[in-house]
Structure 1
């Protein structure tokens, strides 16, 4: 079973995101067959809200971000990095909207920021728990 059907599609369903199938070839090129997708969501860049939508894919070893241009809906690989090459990874839940903002510095020194919006605060805490598990190695349980 390939990485798409084994982990990516279940993560998409878990997130409640609608991901067109044209994203799949980029995902297949970026993610190893034995690397599990743990988080898939649409997001935006707070410093460039009109730059288009982004698809954020987090696996146990990689962060992959695919940009979709606003007018022509072309797909471009924005970021494909091993998690070991990220530094100063931070995230901040915003329960008033509900949203979660994540930031990380890539190996080239560029600070990347992504804002994920959710339908409810429960989703914010679920995604925050996944980020904590992947980046801090903590297993968090929601009470």
Structure 2
């Protein structure tokens, strides 16, 4: 069983995210076969609101963000980073919307920010717990 069917697809189902099959080759190239997906979510970049839709995939070892361009709907790998190479990782739940904003500094010194929106506050706390387990454990 490959990483896609074993962990990525169940994580998308848990998050309530429908992923087109054209995302899968990018995920397969970025994630090792023994690295489990722990969080999948659609997100936006607050500093670039017109940059298109993004898909955030967090595993135990990697953070992968895939961008879908707004006009032509092309997929582009925005970020593929080993978690050890990320610094100053922070997140902040926003229960009024409900959403969660995550930020991290990549190895090249660029500060990346991602905002994930959820259906309810329970999902915010569940995803916040996953981030705590991965980054603070």
TM-score category of the 2 structures, normalised to the smaller one: over 0.9
Aligned CA-pair RMSD? 0.3
For residues 113 and 130 of structure 1, the distance between their equivalents in structure 2, rounded to whole angstroms, comes to 17
Structure 1 match to 2:59: 59
Pairing 1:71-90 to 2, within 5 Å after superposition: 71-90=71-90
Superposition misfits of 4+ residues, deviation over 2 angstroms: none
After superposition, give the CA deviation of every residue in 1:71-110 in whole Å (9 maximum; x if it has no partner).
1100000000000000000000000000000000000000
Pairing 1:1-143 to 2, within 5 Å after superposition: 1-137=1-137
The runs of 5 or more residues in structure 2 that have no matched partner are none
Q: What's the offset of the Cα at 1:38?
A: 0.1
2:56 is paired with a residue of what secondary structure? strand
After superposition, give the CA deviation of every residue in 1:58-78 in whole Å (9 maximum; x if it has no partner).
000000000000111000000
Q: What's the offset of the Cα at 1:5?
A: 0.2
Q: What's the offset of the Cα at 1:18?
A: 1.1
Residue correspondences, number: 137
For residues 29 and 95 of structure 1, the distance between their equivalents in structure 2, rounded to whole angstroms, comes to 35
Structure 2 match to 1:141: none
For residues 73 and 40 of structure 2, the distance between their equivalents in structure 1, rounded to whole angstroms, comes to 19
**TM-score, normalised on structure 1?**
0.95
